[in-house]
Amino acid sequence: MKLNDVPIRVTGEGKAEFSYRASANVSKVDGTFSIELDQRLVEIAGSIQHSDGCNALGIYDISYHSNKTWVMAKELLAARRFIEKCAKDYLQCEVKTETVILYGYQLCVQFWKDAKGGLHPNGTAGAGGEWFKGSYKELSTHARLPFYSVGFAACVMLKKTYARASGTTVEWELVHESKDEYADKLNSFINLDVDPERHSEYYKEMTYSPEATKFFYTVMTNICKLADQIHTFFGSEPELLKAIQSGNLLTFK
């Protein structure tokens, strides 16, 4: 059953304020109250739920339905106090912003490297070697690779760290304008999606410097040159046949 909206209002230091009117309902079946949780508080509520425990705070559950997040409780006041606790935690947040460079590589290849540095297509080259450690780890249960590939990515991002009593969260934002020429160039490569939240295992973090942005921009352009060389060499079958007949091998510079 729909109830009147519940006003949520919490003030913090520096005249900071968090307020909204929360939708509220009560179940006709068991009398459980549910109050809508503002989306800004969802992550905090989850942290408090795991650290303090819902039952200790008088909360029955935190659930998601009808495209909204709801705080469930046997008493309306308990749900409201829980949300206010989350809002206070939100206002007490300390924010640290820093400029960093994210970079990473993914090598979808697999080969055997012997003790002298020689490369072999499989592990039957004898003792004194090992599988290339940076390569894609192929297992018998994995699907075969359609191509061997070398991937690399780098970009300049703002790293915003939010420190709260309930825990620390991080947000990332691409730097769109910079006084650093190479930072702008590095972030100008199109169709490149560097997302450390979804693929944190792929990327490493480095403190920003103009020297580093120039270095990584050069690496990215060299990757593009590599692609251009491969396309030029294999894109024309007549030219490819000439190269094969002449014995000219494709080398990368």
pLDDT in tens, 84-117: 999 998 888 788 999 999 999 988 888 888 888 8
- Asked whether residue 76 falls in the same domain as residue 123, the answer is no
Predicted confidence at residue 126, as pLDDT, reads 64
CB 129 within 8 A of CB 238: no
pLDDT in tens, 113-147: 888 888 888 777 666 788 887 755 555 456 677 88
Domain residues for 33?
A: 2-91
- Provide the whole-model pTM: 0.67
- Asked whether residue 53 falls in the same domain as residue 111, the answer is no
Residue 223 counted as domain residue: no
Q: Which burial class, exposed, middle or buried, applies to 93 when counting CB atoms under 10 A from its CB (0-12, 13-18, 19+)?
A: middle
Predicted confidence at residue 125, as pLDDT, reads 67
CB 45 within 8 A of CB 37: yes
- Asked whether residue 112 falls in the same domain as residue 183, the answer is yes
- Asked whether residue 80 falls in the same domain as residue 125, the answer is no
Residue 251 counted as domain residue: no
Which of 4-13, 56-65, 199-208 shows the lowest per-residue confidence on average (mean pLDDT)?
Answer: 56-65
200 has a pLDDT exceeding 60:
yes
Residue type, 117: G
Q: Which pair of tokens denotes residue 73?
A: 């409780």
Into how many domains does the chain fold? Answer: 2
End-to-end CA distance of the chain: 71
Q: Which pair of tokens denotes residue 95?
A: 């924010």
Ranges 5-9, 122-126, 231-235, most confident: 5-9
- Asked whether residue 178 falls in the same domain as residue 82, the answer is no
Q: Which pair of tokens denotes residue 44?
A: 């905090």
- pLDDT averaged over every residue in the chain: 86
More confident residue, 153 or 29: 153
- Asked whether residue 118 falls in the same domain as residue 204, the answer is yes
Which residues have CB under 8 Å from 159's CB, separation 6+? 97, 98, 99, 100, 170, 171, 172, 205
Instruction: Determine how β-strand 112-114 pairs with β-strand 68-73.
Output: unpaired
3-state secondary structure of 112: strand
Residue 134 counted as domain residue: yes
Predicted confidence at residue 38, as pLDDT, reads 95
- Asked whether residue 84 falls in the same domain as residue 109, the answer is no
Predicted confidence at residue 57, as pLDDT, reads 63
- Residue whose C-alpha is closest to residue 90's, from 36, 21, 43: 43
Predicted confidence at residue 214, as pLDDT, reads 97
220 has a pLDDT exceeding 90:
yes
- Residue whose C-alpha is closest to residue 189's, from 164, 169, 212, 216: 216
Q: Which pair of tokens denotes residue 103?
A: 């970079």
- Specify the CATH number for the domain of residue 52: 3.30.70
Residue 238 counted as domain residue: no
**C-alpha–C-alpha distance, residues 34 and 94, integer Å:** 30
Residue 159 counted as domain residue: yes
**C-alpha–C-alpha distance, residues 127 and 115, integer Å:** 8
pLDDT in tens, 141-197: 566 778 888 899 999 999 998 887 767 888 899 998 889 999 999 999 999 989 888
Phi-psi region of 126 (alpha: psi -120 to 50; beta: other; left: phi over 0): left
Confidence of residue 54 (pLDDT cuts 50, 70, 90): low
Predicted confidence at residue 13, as pLDDT, reads 63
